[in-house]
Amino acid sequence: MKVIFIFLAVVFTSVVSAQEYKLDKVLELALENNHNIKVFQNNVIIASNNADPGNAGMLPQLNLNGGVNYSSNDTKLELLAQPAPVTIEQAGAESVSANLGVGLNWVIFDGMAMFRNYDKLKILVDLEDLKTRASVENTLMMVISNYYQMASAMNNVKVSKESISITNDRLKRAKAKYEVGASSSIDFLSAEVDLNTDSVTLINSKAQLDKAANNLNQLTGNQLPAGFTISEKVDIVTKMNFAELVKQASSNNAQLLNAEYSMLSAEKDMKIAQSGYSPTLAVNGNYGLNYIENEIGNMLSNQSLGYSAGVTLSYPIFQANIRKIRSQNAKVALLSSEEMRLNTVDQLNTDLNNAWIDYEKNTAVLEMEKRNLKNAEVNFTRSRELYQLGKVTNVQFRDAQLNYLRTQVSIVNSKYQVRLSEFELIRLSGMLIQKE
């Protein structure tokens, strides 16, 4: 299954630097090297190999047959003769027979079962292809999610370092005031505690970053080099059209197409089962050499070279209700496949509506976070100025600092959540990938 990516018609340069990878490049590596994707692609190859007329029973079978038999027996023969019967006895009388020939067997009619089998095998190729596509979509969504998790962890590290820098500056000021007696040790000790807290946060953020990088690399088949980084930039779509997404999903969603092709396969199974009520007509032929040699007897040797041909018509009158049961079960399986298709339609509608709710919620949250960031930044800048002038307490400045840093983390995470919501809607609509 060869696919090309559709990212809302946004095209980026794959690699920004030697070690920084953008999302489309990471997705390309995953598509080429992910082990689960390769397994599903191999299943498509197997299904394609099976979709052969010979595998459906449409082609004749030609066999080369040969054999040699030898026997040695104590033999006593009594032959009718005049005026009196003749008796022949021999110990260890030898007999040799040999044959060599080419045999042909061809079923030319079996109630159309062979043609229906062939049609089913071709459907199974499309079905495996759709299963592969669904697997590819799920894997790529995992890549996208882990990519943004890593980007979020990178931002957390950056924010943690910024927090340490701010707190370290505060510590220096508090220490200088304490040393000249301008303040008590409380502010100095409080700044030391906050610096240690920020340092622990940085350690945890780095650990999360390393784990996110490992998870992302595993999804690409470990194709990313040591020390790689990714781009933190994220482009948000201006506005998605829900009606268009629903329309595309009805004809392109992989799970829905999978259910429809499963129903087609069940229909073929029912027709194949019905073919069991028809007679079978086969032709056969043989061309070969037969040779027999006996040490005693009326016929001491015989050799024949030639061909034979025949036609066989068979019709099973009673098969212990096997045909009836097979046909009944095929009908029930077809009904089940229709129910599964309807369930898939219902589930798709539910997933689309829920994904749209998440998308609108995340978009609204992002807008609020943008306003919060502006307010938090103004508040922090003002608090920092007042702190340096000694007009706000240590605790008030720390609160403003934490609020500002938390808002920085929140707005970045909100952007990634919006982007993930967009990709989920694209996946459900069947537009994440398409065959080339």
**DSSP class of 183:** S
pLDDT at 98: 92
Q: How far is Cα 217 from Cα 223, in angstroms, rounded to an integer?
A: 7
pLDDT per position as a tens digit, 59-115? 999 999 999 998 888 777 777 777 777 777 878 888 899 999 999 999 999 889 999
Residue 215 CA, distance from chain mean position: 18
- pLDDT value for 436: 57
Say how far residue 155 (Cα) sits from the centre of its chain.
31
Model pLDDT, residue 139: 94
* Tokens matching residue 345: 């339609």
Q: Is residue 326 part of a domain?
A: yes
pLDDT at residue 70, as a whole number: 87
Please state, in angstroms and rounded to a whole number, the distance separating the CA atoms of residues 381 and 374. Answer: 11
**CA geometry: angle at 154 spanning 148 and 160, to 5°?**
135
| Ramachandran region, residue 312 (left: φ > 0; alpha: ψ -120 to 50; beta: rest) | beta
Task: Indicate whether 305 belongs to any domain.
Answer: no
pLDDT at 182: 62
Closest by CA to 160, choosing from 412, 413, 411, 408, is 408
List the structure tokens of 166.
């701010």
Whether 312 maps to a domain, the answer reads no
Instruction: In whole angstroms, give the CA distance from residue 367 to residue 371.
Output: 7
Q: Does residue 352 lie in a domain region?
A: yes
Give the count of alpha carbons within 13 A of 113, CB side only: 18
Let me know the angle formed at the C-alpha of 96 by 93 and 101, rounded to the nearest 5 degrees.
165
* Neighbour-count burial of 158, counting CB atoms closer than 10 A to its CB (0-12 exposed, 13-18 middle, 19+ buried): middle
Answer whether residue 140 is part of any domain. yes
pLDDT of residue 361: 95
The 8 Å CB, 24+ separation contacts for 403-409 are: 403/376, 403/379, 404/376, 404/377, 404/379, 404/380, 405/159, 405/162, 405/163, 407/369, 407/372, 407/373, 407/376, 407/377, 408/155, 408/159, 408/162, 408/373, 409/152, 409/155, 409/156, 409/159
Residue 273 lies in a domain: yes
CA distance linking residue 159 with residue 385, whole number of Å: 20
pLDDT at 293: 85
pTM of the complete model: 0.82
Give the count of domains, the chain. Answer: 1
* pLDDT score of 7: 40
- Rounded distance, CA 111 to CA 323, Å? 13
The secondary element (H helix, E strand) that includes residue 87 is strand 86-109
Q: Which domain holds residue 212?
A: 3-33+110-279+318-435
Interval 275-289: pLDDT, tens: 888 899 999 999 999
Strands 229-230 and 20-21 turn out to be parallel
Q: Low-confidence residues of the chain, pLDDT below 50?
A: 1-18
CATH, residue 15: 1.20.1600.10
Please check whether residue 424 lies inside any domain of the structure. Answer: yes
Residue 60, domain member (yes or no): no
Q: What backbone phi and psi angles, to 5 degrees, belong to 160? A: -65, -40
